[in-house]
Amino acid sequence: MAPGNEAGTAKLEYEGKMVELPVFEGSEGEKALDIRALRSQTGMITYDPGFGNTGACESNITFIDGEKGVLRIRGYEIDDLAEHCEFVEVAYLLVNGNLPNPAQRASFSEMLTRASLIHEDMRNFFRQYPEHAHPMAILSACVVSLSTFYPELERSEDEEINVQTTRLISKIRTISAFSYKKFIGQPFVYPRYDLKYCENFLNMMFSSPVHPYELNPVVVKAINQFFILHADHEQNCSTTVVRLVGSSRANLYASIASGVCALWGPLHGGANQAVVEMLEEMQREGWTAADVIAKAKNKESGFRLMGFGHRVYKTYDPRARIAKEACEKVLKQLGVVDPLLDLAFELEDAALNDDYFKERNLYPNVDFYTGITLRAVGIPTNMYPVMFAIGRLPGWIAQWRELWGDPDQRIGRPRQIYTGPVKRDFIPISERG
């Protein structure tokens, strides 16, 4: 099956041979060279480390225009979703393809609430981890373990996937909050029937038997918006991992757990934690913005300006613009004065006016300001990638389900250019010098 609409052919000439390869066009005008016949027709493969020029799939979930800074989820602008929706609506949009009507919204919320407990035996998982285990390690282990507590049910595949989807979107909150409580040595707080998605998560995080948590609407909206900004981002590293693991027909829990591990890296979803740690070090060491920019430009330093740059966006990440506005607003409404925000402003200003960053189209990405907002609502830095995972989960699930339903999809298995030793005769160990 062809991705999108036919858009002519491209000719490839090499060593006196000419092959014609089909070109296809997506609904937003992007063009792709279909190279599925390349090796059979030419004996050659393509070489594209990091897949920067390689389309792995056709998708109708999320569109990004990196040059114009556009992000749309199922056709809706991220600005509209962030401004007008709650996260549960965007999760429904991703998994079902349309925004829910009031009845669908109520039914989805009810299913999420009813699925919010984890099996009591899973509580023991948390007790066995060392004191300061990183919550991302616990999250990935618990997610893959859900497949042992909830083996495939005897129901139609679609119905089973819907159950697994709702179960995961709901339980990821409970697992995440429990991993935080484990980290701070407090008793677990169970989900409540009377609280909605984000409220329940915040209550499980911050309530305690001796100090009930008072929900602040500013914080609830900030967390809803944080999750929406992270909900999906087409074929990023962790989503590609979820699809690749799913392409072997591994179950949904195993595929998502793999995505959690990929997201953990500081170049990806771990960047929000790395940004705040970078700003804290800047404050502790008394570095100026110029000092930090100089370090980032010095290749020998191995230092990167975390929260800056993006493989796709060559202008301001639209999520970063929304996150920056939200960060200022939330801190002001909460009466929080955080010197790290001023340092972030100084760094952004210095970088955007520096030729090194301008020449490379390096702008703030989604991670540059989001951590400061999380800090203001009391979430610790090692939970920031976990927050990213909670937001990205509906996107991962939507992408995984799209892969499973795509007749074009086969098990992912890239090729390589081998540059190792050519054939060598075997030498018995007794004869080796």
Residues near ligand SDX (CB under 6 A), total: 21
Residue 169 region by backbone torsions, left for phi larger than 0, else alpha for psi between -120 and 50, else beta: alpha
- Cα–Cα distance for residue pair 133/355, rounded to 1 Å: 41
**Residue 317 CB, nearest distance to ligand SDX (Å)?**
7
The correct pick among 262, 282, 306, 389 for binding ligand SDX (CB under 6 A) is 306
Member of 93, 271, 282, 331 binding ligand SDX (CB under 6 A): 271
Q: Quote the least distance from Cβ 170 to ligand SDX, whole Å.
A: 22
CB closer to ligand SDX, 136 vs 204 = 136
Site for ligand SDX in 196-235 (CB under 6 A): 233
Residue 321 is a binding residue for ligand SDX (CB under 6 A): no
Q: Which stretch binds ligand SDX (CB under 6 A): 2-10, 112-120, 359-367, 397-405?
A: 359-367
Q: Is 367 a catalytic residue?
A: yes
* 311 contributes a contact to ligand SDX by CB under 6 A: yes
Does 87 participate in binding ligand SDX (rule CB under 6 A)?
no
Find the binder of ligand SDX among 86, 199, 367, 402 (CB under 6 A). Answer: 367
d(CA 354, CA 360): 10
Q: Pick one of 366, 379, 387, 390: the residue that binds ligand SDX (CB under 6 A).
A: 366
User: Can you tell me the distance from the alpha carbon of 412 to that of 69, in angstroms, rounded to the nearest whole number?
Assistant: 30
Active site residue 310: yes
Pick out residues in 19-58 that bind ligand SDX (CB under 6 A).
50
Coil/strand/helix, residue 299:
helix
Encoded tokens for 315: 């202008």
Chain residue at closest Cβ approach to ligand SDX: 309
Q: Which residues touch 289 (CB under 8 Å, ≥6 apart)?
A: 343, 346, 347, 349, 350
Neighbours of 347 (CB within 10 A): 27
Nearer to ligand SDX, 183 or 308 (CB): 308
> Cβ 171 to ligand SDX, closest distance in Å?
22
Q: Which stretch binds ligand SDX (CB under 6 A): 124-132, 152-160, 164-172, 303-311?
A: 303-311
* Of 20-28, 85-93, 207-215, 267-275: span binding ligand SDX (CB under 6 A): 267-275
* Beta-carbon contacts of residue 392 (< 8 Å; ≥ 6 apart): 230, 231, 232, 233, 238, 239, 259, 263, 269
Residue type, 318: P
Alpha-carbon span 172 to 128, nearest angstrom:
19
Distance between CA 107 and CA 113 in Å, rounded? 10
Name the residue among 395, 337, 338, 339 with its Cα closest to residue 366. Answer: 395
Residue 344 contacts ligand SDX per CB under 6 A: no
Q: Does 296 bind ligand SDX (CB under 6 A)?
A: yes
Six token digits for residue 184: 């701070």
Residues 6 or more apart whose CB falls under 8 angstroms from that of 410 comprise 247
Catalytic one of 230, 232, 233, 310: 310
User: Interface residues with ligand SDX (CB under 6 A)?
Assistant: 50, 233, 236, 267-268, 271, 296, 304-312, 360, 362, 365-367
**Active site amino acids:** 310, 367
